Structure 1
Amino acid sequence: MSSPTARRRQRSTRLTVAVSLLTIAAVLVTAAFLGDVAWFQAFAAVSAVVLGAAATRITHSELMQTRRDAARDRAEQAQAYRSLTEERTAEHTAFADSMKSRVDQQELALTELESALSEAQKRAAEATRKFNAEARRAELAEQEGRAVTVRLEEAEERAAEAVLRVAELEQEADVLRAELAAWQAEPARLRA
């Protein structure tokens, strides 16, 4: 934005001419009253009226030009504000769409993780059930010994992996829930 001194208009030549015409009229009237000549007084009076009317007309035309210039400036400023508002509206819409897309992606990822967690828990329960069945069989069939021991160790490994995977998936689900809560809270903060 320009400084106030840069926006100050230069004194118009027309206003300078109008002031000069009024000064000439004042000098003529003063000289006529001092000279005390009737025809000169009449001439000075008529000249003062004519010069005053001319000065008034010049000042009026300057005022009208100033008003037209001001109206044009206001129209240009209004157009600039309208353009700026349109840009900001477009930016806001794009931002809102981007945030909605991100939230949708996070919700989809959270749903997928919850599904994977549910499956992992089912597998862990199944593995635990199998582990318990193997343990009972091992007690009953101790004569099979080594074969059963190998299967038992494998079942324990699978159970441990499943428990580890369940813990990992629960941790990922907690992180995604926290991110989703943050994303959902952000649009409310932006509107405020």
Structure 2
Amino acid sequence: MRAVVLLALAAVVAVAAVAVTVLTGAGATWPVAGGLVVLALGAAATRSTHLEVLDTRREGGADRARLAGEYRGITDARVRENRVFAETMTRRLDDGERVLAEQLATIHAHEAALDRRERRLAAVEAELEQAKDRLAGTESLARAQAARAEELATRLSEAEDIAGERAVAAAARIAELETERDALRSELHLWQTAATPGRRRQA
């Protein structure tokens, strides 16, 4: 900005020197003086530009140094964050692997228990089949024995009926025989009574 002002002022001085020379008709003094002034102003403008460039470079260097420091801080923070993240992920991975191992151990234990239960179930089913077979045999034997008992009961009932009939017939026969015996005893007694007087007369 200072260099622009100086260059504008040099242009004004040059124009003024030319105008004064033309208007006054003076010699080469004014143009030479104007040229020297313009040269001095140009040198001052160049110096100012150089100083501004140096200042700009210093400011740019300071900004770059500040940005580099900030970037370094950001980088360090990112490194720390990455390290913490890596440690966290590693810890979580270790925890996950430990939990997975525990779950696998639990699954293996459940599988072993399930295998034992399946073997026990197979043994129980086999024993149940044997018990069913024994029960079927027992039921068949019970049915056979029930049929035999029913047959024996029928025979016993028939035998009891026959025995009852025979008992009735025997009782009737006994009664007949007792009646006949009584009759024979009466006849015998009559005969004995009738025969006794004759024997007495003969005596």
Q: CA deviation at 1:114?
A: 1.6
Larger Rg: 2
Match of 1:55 in 2: 45
Match of 1:37 in 2: 26
Pairing of 1:158-173 with structure 2 (within 5 A): none
Pairing of 1:48-127 with structure 2 (within 5 A): 48-127=38-117
**Partner AA of 1:91 in structure 2:** E
Change (3 A) 1:46 1:137: closer
Q: CA deviation at 1:90?
A: 2.3
Cα displacement string for residues 77-110 of structure 1 (whole angstroms, at most 9, x for unaligned residues): 2222222222223223322322222222122112
Query: Residues of 1 paired with 2:44 and 2:79: CA distance?
Result: 52
Q: What is the root-mean-square deviation of aligned Cα atoms in Å?
A: 3.0
Change (3 A) 1:125 1:52: closer
With normalisation by structure 1, the TM-score equals 0.53
The alignment-based identity, stated in percent, is 29
Query: Residues of 1 paired with 2:112 and 2:35: CA distance?
Result: 113
Give the number of aligned pairs: 131
Q: CA deviation at 1:131?
A: 4.6
SS in 2 for 1:37: coil
With normalisation by structure 2, the TM-score equals 0.51
Match of 1:26 in 2: 14
Gaps (5+ residues) in structure 2?
135-203
Cα displacement string for residues 17-40 of structure 1 (whole angstroms, at most 9, x for unaligned residues): 423431343234323541331233
Match of 1:154 in 2: none
Gaps (5+ residues) in structure 1?
1-11, 143-192
